[in-house]
Amino acid sequence: MKSRFYRPLSIACISPAYFPDICLFVKNNGNYILYKNHDRKFTEADRHRLERTNTEFLYVRSGDMDVVTEYLEQNLDTLLARTDIDSGAKGTILYQTAANYVTDVFDEPDKTADIIRCRSLIRHLMKYVAGHEDALKALQSITSQNYYIFTHSVQMAALMMLVHDRLFEISHDEMIDVGIGSLLHDVGLVFLSGDLLNKPDALAAIEYHKVKQHARKGYEHLKSAGTLGEVSLTIVRHHHEKFDGSGYPSGLKGDDIPRSAQLAALCDTYCAMTTERPKHNALPKSEALRIMGEEVGSTFSPELFKRFEAIVTGRAETA
Ligand SMILES: [Fe+2]
Ligand SMILES: [Fe+2]
């Protein structure tokens, strides 16, 4: 299936000196047109030309994603340390690397066992979220209709770490676990049907209608991989529990729902509503919070919702 599909790659991620020799494409009226062949180097002149036409993404054959992901992960330190790249572009690079990781895991779920990659990504993401005022905004502005589920996972991980950081004194290791669990929270979707990944609309609809098995299936898969911490597993397993006990998979109620899972439900819903999805426009922050507010007491804990709202509206620095 791989070679038939194209994946977006932000131009910010292409560092001419190290970028692998692969073909790059531009998208025009739904068609992918060759921009450069594998034997021609991408140059700074290419970047300027594309910037002038406001082209943010080029496309890569999905069969080439392995080398792109390897390139990004190996050069992430260097790319994020560069002083000639602004904070927004660094967010894009980080987002793209993390989204590639999630894509990879959806393609080959066995890769979740390779937790070292994920841990290193989450560390970078954490540093970025902590060090950049507008990190969330930068990460949320990156939307890619066809790749909703991957974008969503990265945004959710960033928001979860921010919220945990503001609300609780948790250890560095626990924070990493929060990030990993959030990045992988919907991984169970991959087990619902082999064709789902080729149908981005279906994926989004499934997420929206909360197909119930993905939480349990994701949890069972990751648990059997044996490399994830308890907090990560809890987030994956219980992110669809509801405060009144009507959620799934366990129908846990009130504060029997682990704290990280209650926050996962808040961040998951908020990220989904405020992001452009196939067939759903992104809602403004205030409107998303208003709708979520109607579910306080049924879906969400009143106390946690209040604190969550204060953080995303910027009314609370610390709780
Ligand atoms: Fe989910
Ligand atoms: Fe989700």
Model confidence, pTM: 0.80
Indicate if 92 and 66 belong to the same structural domain.
Answer: no
Q: With a cut of 60, say whether residue 34 has pLDDT above it.
A: yes
Indicate if 58 and 1 belong to the same structural domain.
Answer: yes
Spell out which residues have Cβ within 5 A of ligand 2, the ion: 186, 268
- Contacts of 114 by beta carbon, 8 Å cutoff, 6+ apart: 227
Report pLDDT for 36: 96
Average pLDDT over residues 239-250: 96
Indicate if 119 and 41 belong to the same structural domain.
Answer: no
Band (pLDDT 50/70/90 cuts) for residue 275 is confident
What are the backbone dihedrals phi and psi of residue 315, each rounded to the nearest 5 degrees, phi first?
Answer: -85, -15
Ligand 1 midpoint to CA 221 (Å):
15
- Which of 39, 72, 105 delimits the end of a domain? 72
Q: Report yes or no on 284 lying in a domain.
A: yes
Ligand 2 midpoint to CA 44 (Å):
37
Could you tell me the CATH number of the domain that includes residue 296? Answer: 1.10.3210.10
The residues with which 296 forms a beta bridge, in sequence order, are 300
Q: With a cut of 90, say whether residue 267 has pLDDT above it.
A: yes
Q: Report yes or no on 80 lying in a domain.
A: no
Domain residues for the domain of 240 are 86-312
The amino acid that residue 161 corresponds to is M
Average pLDDT over residues 182-191: 85
Indicate if 54 and 140 belong to the same structural domain.
Answer: no
Q: With a cut of 70, say whether residue 16 has pLDDT above it.
A: yes
Q: With a cut of 50, say whether residue 104 has pLDDT above it.
A: yes
Report pLDDT for 1: 38
CA neighbours closer than 13 Å in the CB half-sphere of residue 134: 10
Indicate if 269 and 174 belong to the same structural domain.
Answer: yes
Ligand positioned closest to the Cα atom of 218: 1
Indicate if 143 and 33 belong to the same structural domain.
Answer: no
Ligand 1 midpoint to CA 91 (Å):
24
Ligand 2 midpoint to CA 59 (Å):
25
Indicate if 61 and 190 belong to the same structural domain.
Answer: no
Q: With a cut of 50, say whether residue 192 has pLDDT above it.
A: yes
Ligand positioned closest to the Cα atom of 212: 1
Band (pLDDT 50/70/90 cuts) for residue 119 is confident
Indicate if 24 and 93 belong to the same structural domain.
Answer: no
β strands within 1-71, DSSP E = 6-10, 24-28, 31-36, 57-61
For the ranges 64-73, 82-91, 131-140, 200-209, the maximum mean pLDDT occurs at 64-73
Token code pair at residue 192: 């619902």
Band (pLDDT 50/70/90 cuts) for residue 261 is very high
For the chain, give the mean pLDDT. Answer: 85
Token code pair at residue 314: 């910027």
Report pLDDT for 210: 46
Indicate if 234 and 91 belong to the same structural domain.
Answer: yes
Ligand 1 midpoint to CA 207 (Å):
6
- Which of 50, 72, 94 delimits the end of a domain? 72
Q: Report yes or no on 278 lying in a domain.
A: yes
Count of domains forming the chain: 2
Indicate if 239 and 262 belong to the same structural domain.
Answer: yes
Ligand 1 midpoint to CA 251 (Å):
15
Ligand 2 midpoint to CA 153 (Å):
7
Indicate if 144 and 4 belong to the same structural domain.
Answer: no
Band (pLDDT 50/70/90 cuts) for residue 204 is low
Ligand 1 midpoint to CA 234 (Å):
13
Q: Report yes or no on 178 lying in a domain.
A: yes
Band (pLDDT 50/70/90 cuts) for residue 278 is low
Indicate if 95 and 50 belong to the same structural domain.
Answer: no
- Which of 72, 105, 134 delimits the end of a domain? 72
Average pLDDT over residues 302-312: 96
Q: Which of the pair, 227 or 279, is modelled with greater confidence?
A: 227
Ligand positioned closest to the Cα atom of 269: 2
Q: With a cut of 70, say whether residue 4 has pLDDT above it.
A: no
Q: Where is average pLDDT lowest: 6-15, 19-28, 260-269, 272-281?
A: 272-281
Phi-psi region of 152 (alpha: psi -120 to 50; beta: other; left: phi over 0): alpha
Q: Report yes or no on 296 lying in a domain.
A: yes
How many CB atoms are located within 10 Å of the residue 93 CB? 24
Q: With a cut of 80, say whether residue 263 has pLDDT above it.
A: yes
Q: Report yes or no on 161 lying in a domain.
A: yes
8 Å CB contact between 19 and 72: no
Ligand 2 midpoint to CA 269 (Å):
7
3-state secondary structure of 271: helix
Report pLDDT for 235: 97
Average pLDDT over residues 138-158: 70
Band (pLDDT 50/70/90 cuts) for residue 319 is very low
Q: Report yes or no on 18 lying in a domain.
A: yes
Ligand 1 midpoint to CA 18 (Å):
36
Ligand 2 midpoint to CA 202 (Å):
14
Q: Report yes or no on 30 lying in a domain.
A: yes
3-state secondary structure of 24: strand
